[in-house]
Amino acid sequence: MPKKPIPPTPATADPAAYTHQDRRPYIPAGTEAGAEQLNPKVQAHTLRELDKNPIVHRGQDPELQWLGKYAHEGDHQPDYLRLDIRSLYRHEHIRPQELMARLYRERLAEANAQLGLFGQDYQTVDELDKPLSYYQHHAAWENHLILGDSLAVMTSLLEREGLGQKVQMVYLDPPYGIKYGSNWQIKLNNRTVQDGKDEHLSSEPEQIKAFRDTWELGIHSYLSYLRDRLLVARELLTESGSCFVQISDENVHLVRSLMDEIFGSSNFVSLITVKKTSARSAELLAGISDYLVWYAKSRDAIKFRPIYKDREINREILAQYSFVETEQGRRRLTKEEYNDPGSIAGKLFRPVILTSEKGYSKGKDLFEFEGKLYGPGSRFWSTSPDKGLPNLVRKKRLMAQGNSINLVRYLDDFPLMPIADLWDDTASGGGEDKRYVVQTTQKVIQRCILMTTDPGDLVLDPTCGSGTTAYVAEQWGRRWITMDTSRIALNIAKTRLMTASFPYYRLYDEASQDLRQGFVYREVPHITLKSLANDEPPATEKLYDQPEEDKKRLRVAGPFTVETLQSLNPVPPEELEAPKQELESHAQFEARVFAGLTASGIRNGAKNEQAVFLRVERRASPALPAEGYWRDADGRERKAYFLLGPRFGTVSKSQVNDAVKECRQLGDADWLVVLGFAFDDAIENRAQTTSAGTFQVTRARIGEDLLQEGLLKKDKKAASFVTIGEPEIGLLRDAATGSATVEVRGLDIWDPINNRLAARSVEDIAYWMLDDDYDGSNFLVRQVFFCGGEKSEFRKWRQKLDLQASASAKQRAEQTLRIELDEDAWERLYGFQSHPIEARPGRRVAVRVISQFGEESTQVLTL
């Protein structure tokens, strides 16, 4: 079948990004709409169906039992039935294509006239102004990076977003076991973690569940954690979809049994052994492998694309291809050649029998070869003796051995071999940029994606980590959704995607730019007995990991959103009418928060600045629902009041004002702690003076882990509350040009032990972002700056982009147009001053600062 002609691609230096034709319900930046409330009967019925595995209930497979598997004995309802299914809210909107464009300039070689790389500014689509009707209005697909517990997010995707049976592949890389294994990270720019050292204890409370493997009921909690997520994953998968779970040998047997129960043993595909390290010391046998447990939604309908690798000339291959053809003729390999494959001079081949059990009329006829008659014995010739065998003789593809003739199959008839279930070439090496302490090598995830998805398909990773799945999916033109409870992990993933550049692979249908038609892949001939015997052209095999690359184009990540389960539009408490069960649930959550304050206290990211409370007592006041006591550096007991924000909402400025007013009236506290998951941008950390003295007001973010079940809450190392620093922001005006520049000057964080406001170095800031035309609700990232890492890292990144830009420029010589990096923009990229902003009266600028500990603070300035 002839290939569809590929139209020539116009030479261009613009950073390109793949877009997808698929669409999704638009995510609001504001409050949750009343029309979104899910019918409770529909909700309960749908989720209960997830636990009705027909395979298990028909008794075809055994069922794994563990403590707390069913929350209600006899009812067989899992814990997640009590989940309040929430909507997702957009926290940030990121378009790497436009961010990258600021770093380049184009000019005409003759006129030396500077041209803008993009003529259009960030345009807000109409749906952004209609957050309450986003279920009726749709926008083009954008990938999603989501902060939140994976179970809550996945059920939201299933019930709110309507993604049931829309996900092609799920890749789940959960914690491996129940031990404290130091597989978590304290700072964005530091992967060094040592057991037992206070400075390496996590100040990121959300990572406890995801990366510290600490479980309230040990393996029982762990299995409940996996079961719940796999049940929802099964409903999200398409009929042809696949689910991979990466696990170590510690619990692979339990995970296999669990997935048998959820997907059915008939849908098991493979247990893939993945080499993770080349050498490791151990008391007994060293463990150098992990495992991928692969199940299909339906094995009969599974989508599978074979992946090949080059055949290596080793002892295993020589055991099969043990003959060589030289100018002198055909012979067996010598012992010396077998021991030294490099000494072989000739074509390797192996004899293949030419008979089969399939009978036909002439299949028993005798055939004369080299003056001797041969027959198929008790079987039949694999190809006809009147046409096929003579063609093989003519092509010198027959070889006599004893009383039979065989096909001569050369090694280079098909120089590739399909990968099997042993991946021994995936060990971590020095060539891959490792950004996270438990980062999976790209090759492992790449193979899973290429085997089971096509361009445009949707890939879901409930355990984001450093964002490797999203990164690989982006590279290969797949849509992706990933989530994590750790702000450290999500910020690493976000910066990785914002600064990524990829090859541009040619699309099969360049005219329509439809990714779903796939790429133009390299194809290799596959010579078979059929093609030789019938004088047919050999079949070809597509190499799905080797698409054609367009060297003229520079590609960056497509647009993606950062989303959360927390509504960003504060709702006054008096407007919240909660049903009885909601009040009971809030009371349990409140008790868990207060218990956490005495167990793990409040951290601010610095060593020896953790306030662990001696006791926390409930108060009747809605403005200040609790008070607590801690000791300072001198051993004196100090008092604090707490304001507790909503579980799925933002702490409002009015709530804080009421709390400050009451705290001022009481006059007996040193500290007012505002606890919440999200905060109104207008809330500031600042001291308040009363007639009785001064108290400090501090925002402390609650860890997402406190919304999760099964976590060991009394671990003293587990800080679930981290204070948010207050950045010092300056505005520099240039009257001559009518522009302004934002400058970040520092970060102040309250030290509760020494009772002082500690000024942190600007190097404690990992990166910061600007929306230089903020509309009050939608944070569109228009400028981004990095400052906390090594500047040498950016030099490496620049060299890569510079090379790609130069390659593009060479291809555009006929247009006398060349692209080059903007030196001024690059100098600002690693620093604390923004690009110039037109100082239009009334223009609002939102500044978002992210610390090395993953905490963020937003300030809004008006020009």
What does the pLDDT look like over 403-458, one tens digit per residue?
Answer: 999 999 999 999 999 999 999 888 865 445 544 334 468 899 999 999 999 999 99
**pTM greater than 0.95 (yes/no):** no
Burial class (CB in 10 A: 0-12, 13-18, 19+), 598: middle
Per-residue confidence band for 131, with pLDDT thresholds at 50, 70 and 90: very low
- What are the tens digits of pLDDT across the range 573-619? 544 444 445 555 677 788 888 888 888 788 876 666 788 899 999 99
Tens-digit pLDDT profile for residues 796-831: 666 666 655 555 544 444 333 345 667 777 777 888
Q: What is the pLDDT of residue 745?
A: 87
Q: For 603, how many CA atoms within 13 A lie in the half-sphere containing its CB?
A: 29
pLDDT at 792: 64
| H-run or E-run covering 656 | helix 653-666
Average pLDDT over residues 756-775: 82
pLDDT of residue 642: 95
- What amino acid is encoded at 569 in this protein? N
Tokens representing residue 795 in the block: 């030099």
Higher pLDDT, 488 or 663: 663
Amino acid at 290: D
CA dihedral 150, 151, 155, 158 (to 10 degrees): 50
8 A C-beta contact, residue 74 and residue 756: no
pLDDT at residue number 383: 96
Alpha helical stretches, state H, 524-607: 529-533, 580-599
Domain ranges of the chain: 312-414, 573-723, 726-748+755-862
pLDDT (tens digit per residue) in 532-580: 999 999 999 999 999 999 887 778 888 899 998 877 665 555 444 444 4
pLDDT of 283:
73
Percent of the chain scored above 70 by pLDDT?
Answer: 72
Q: Is 652 exposed, middle or buried (0-12, 13-18, 19+ CB in 10 A)?
A: buried
DSSP character for 358? -
Q: Which residues contact 421 (CB under 8 A, 6 or more apart)?
A: 270, 271, 272, 273
pLDDT band at residue 197 under the 50/70/90 scheme: very low
Give the integer Cα–Cα distance in Å for 153 and 173.
16
- The confidence score (pLDDT) of residue 300 equals 96
Evaluate if residue 42 carries a pLDDT over 60: no
pLDDT band, very low/low/confident/very high, at 36 (cuts 50, 70, 90): very low
Q: 821-847 as b/e, with b when 16 or more CB fall inside 10 Å? A: ebeeebebbbebebbbbebeeeeebbb
**pLDDT at residue 512 greater than cutoff 50:** yes
**Predicted confidence (pLDDT) at residue 59 exceeds the cutoff of 60:** no
The whole-angstrom separation of Cα 243 and Cα 460 is: 9
Mean pLDDT value across the chain: 77
Q: Which of 147-151, 550-554, 571-575, 690-694 has the highest mean pLDDT?
A: 147-151
H or E segment at 844? strand 844-851
